[in-house]
Amino acid sequence: MYRNFDFGRGFAPSVVEDLHLAEEYLYFLKDAHGCILKIGAAFEDLIVHHVSIKENMHFLFEARLCDYLDSLKRKDVCPKNVFQAMKYIHRKRNLANHEGWSREYDADVCLVKMHNILTWCVRKYGLGVPTKYQQINGILEQDTDFRGMFESFLIPGI
C-alpha cells in the first residue's frame, strides 16, 4: 500500500507514524476530527522536537507551539508558503481542539499541507527524498478485507 509520508522516516519516524494514522482516520474511518487532531500532534512533534533542534531554538520559559512558529518566522527559516501552511494547520488544530468538530475537506487540506511541510524539512535538512502526494480515493487498500468484516457486524441478517 502506498503511504504518502514514508519519505520522512529518516528525519522524523514518530511524525511519520502519526501521519499514517491520520490518513487512516480520514480515508478508512472517515473521522475528520481525529485526523486533524493527529496531524496537529504530528505537526507539534515535528516543530518542537525536530526542527527546533536543527535550528538551535532555545526559550527561557515554557514555550508553546505558537512561540516556536514565531521564532521560525523571525529567523526567516522557511519560505512564506511553508509558514502559511504551518499557520493553517495550527489554526485548524486549535479549532478541532476547542470547537470539537472538523470537516473532511479541512482534514484533506491539512494532510496535503503537512506533506508540503515535511517535504520542506526533508529537503532543507537532507534526510530523504520527497515523494509526490497522492490522494486516496475511498477506503485505504488493505491486505485483508476489513470492510467486509465491518459490514458483517453492522448489517443485521434478515
Burial 6-27 (b: 16+ CB within 10 A, else e): ebbbebbeebbebbbbbbbbbb
> What is the spatial distance between Cα 64 and Cα 68, in angstroms, rounded to a whole number?
7
Q: In the prediction, which pLDDT does 58 show?
A: 83
Tally of CA atoms within 13 A in the half-sphere of 105 that contains its CB: 0
Of the ranges 13-22, 42-51, 53-62, 70-79, which one carries the lowest mean pLDDT score? 53-62
CB 47 within 8 A of CB 86: yes
> What is the spatial distance between Cα 2 and Cα 98, in angstroms, rounded to a whole number?
33
Mean pLDDT of 53-80: 89
119's enclosing H/E stretch is helix 104-125
Nearest partner of 69 among 40, 102, 96, 95, judged by Cα: 40
Contacts of 130 (CB under 8 A, 6+ apart): 7, 118, 119, 122, 123
Question: How confident is residue 149, by pLDDT bands cut at 50, 70 and 90?
Answer: very low
Q: What is the pLDDT of residues 69-94, one digit of tens each?
A: 999 999 999 999 999 999 999 999 99
Q: In the prediction, which pLDDT does 1 show?
A: 57
Domains and CATH numbers, the chain: 6-126 (1.20.120)
Tell me which amino acid residue 24 is: E
Give me the count of residues in the chain.
158
